[in-house]
Amino acid sequence: MTNVTGSISRARMSDVAQAAGVSLVTVSRAVNSPNKLAAETLAVVRAAIERLGYVPNLTAGSLASSRSRIVAAVVPTISNPVFSETIESLTQTLAESGHQLLLGQSAYSAAQEAALVETFLGRRVDGLVLTGCNQSASLIARLKRAGLPVVQTWDLPDTASALIDMAVGFSNRDAGRLAARHLIGRGFRSLGFIGAEEERSRRRLDGFKSEAAKLGVRTVAAELIRPPAQMDQVGARLQQLVARQPDLDGVFCNNDLLATAVLFECHRMRRPVPKSLAVLGFGDQSVARAAAPQLSTIRIRRAEMGERAGQMLLTRLSGQMPEAQRIDLGFEIVLREST
């Protein structure tokens, strides 16, 4: 029965060994490398395990073998569906080879990220997945020294020194550039931007502005929402944008949910999309196809990002080197109705 201390006596490996009439190592092998045992022995041991309800203590195993079969990941927040999809596919990829995920949320704070990494190192995790490439120089140095496999995701390091170990992502700046080319190419000249106030969003804004300028469009108003950027804050921001730039005719939103909120606000303002105002999303989430009008957006490979990150880690954990240390997953415009 449940008790307050939360612990009951459990069978240990030595108990199983005794019950089965074999040595400790044999039980260990029955659990970890059954093919190294004679079929009969294996059967006897398994019966004993079953009978005693033995559950191997993975903590003790980790200590002895110095492999934890745990991978840690740090994301700003999983409430943003954009990150949760990457985490989901990462979890699944890792699960296939018996690894589990320890999850940390940094709330977009570098200090919290560093603190999380520190305890993850203390837990001797087998690998680490980070979000973004804007880690501090000291954290980068720390991780390089630690020597464990690390994958940076959701962006690509600009310089060789920003690459800790491995990376899988895409250039956020180039994605912003593509957004500007797309909107301007379709005839919209007075542009706005709505996004979260965080690193990757800012990089996209950078690219968006610089490409717009290059194409002769200098009026780009931006509204940055402090994370978590919720949909119900978007209406007011769009109003701001229009107030600042009355001839606004195109908005780039930093995820499809924000873009959807803009769609609704346009509906309220009786401004037909895209005739009166074009809306470009980001991410190609499922809402983009469901929306009316359907959202044009920039597709990125969120699930693939998690999967590739997991594979790179697993490759390294098996002692090999992955084919590429830096994978650019790219992105593409999906033209629908809103632009």
Partner DNA sequence: GTGAAAGCGCTAACAC
Partner DNA sequence: GTGTTAGCGCTTTCAC
Out of 19, 29, 134, 273, the only residue in the binding site for DNA (CB under 7 A) is 29
User: DSSP letter at 283?
Assistant: B
Residues 101 and 309: their CA atoms lie apart, in Å, by 13
Site string for a second copy, 116-155 (x = CB under 8 A): --xx-xxxx-xx----------------xxxxxx------
Determine if 32 is a binding residue for DNA (CB under 7 A): yes
CB 172 within 8 A of CB 203: yes
**Of residues 40-79, those binding DNA (CB under 7 A):** 40-42, 54, 56-57, 60-61, 63-67
Site map (CB under 8 A) of a second copy, residues 256-295, x = contact: -x--xx--xx-xx-----------------xx-xxxx---
Please choose, out of 6-14, 83-91, 93-101, 229-237, the segment that lies near DNA by the rule CB under 7 A. Answer: 6-14
What is the Cα–Cα distance from 268 to 285, expressed in whole angstroms?
23
Partner from a second copy, DNA, none contacting 26, C-beta within 5 to 8 A by type: DNA
Rounded to an integer, what distance in angstroms lies between the CA atom of residue 73 and that of residue 85?
13
Q: What are phi and psi of 131, to 5 degrees?
A: -100, 125
Per-residue contact flags (x/-) with a second copy for residues 158 to 177, judged by CB under 8 A? -------x------------
The residue type of 286 is S
Interaction between residue 235 and a second copy (CB under 8 A) = yes
Strands (E), the chain: 70-75, 100-105, 127-131, 150-153, 166-169, 191-196, 220-225, 250-253, 278-280, 297-299, 326-328, 332-334
- Say how many Å lie between the first and final Cα of the chain, rounded: 62
Q: Tell me how far apart the alpha carbons of residues 130 and 201 are, in angstroms, rounded to a whole number.
A: 17
Q: Which is nearer to DNA, 25 or 213 (CB)?
A: 25
Binds a second copy (CB under 8 A): choice among 17, 19, 49, 101: 101
Q: Which is nearer to DNA, 57 or 286 (CB)?
A: 57
When CB distances are held under 5 to 8 angstroms depending on the partner's kind, the choice from a second copy, DNA, none that residue 41 binds is DNA
Give the CA distances from residue 180 to residues 67, 121, 150, 186, 189, in Å, rounded to whole numbers and listed in that order. 47, 41, 33, 10, 10
Residues that bind DNA (CB under 7 A): 10, 12-14, 22-26, 28-29, 31-32, 36-38, 40-42, 54, 56-57, 60-61, 63-67
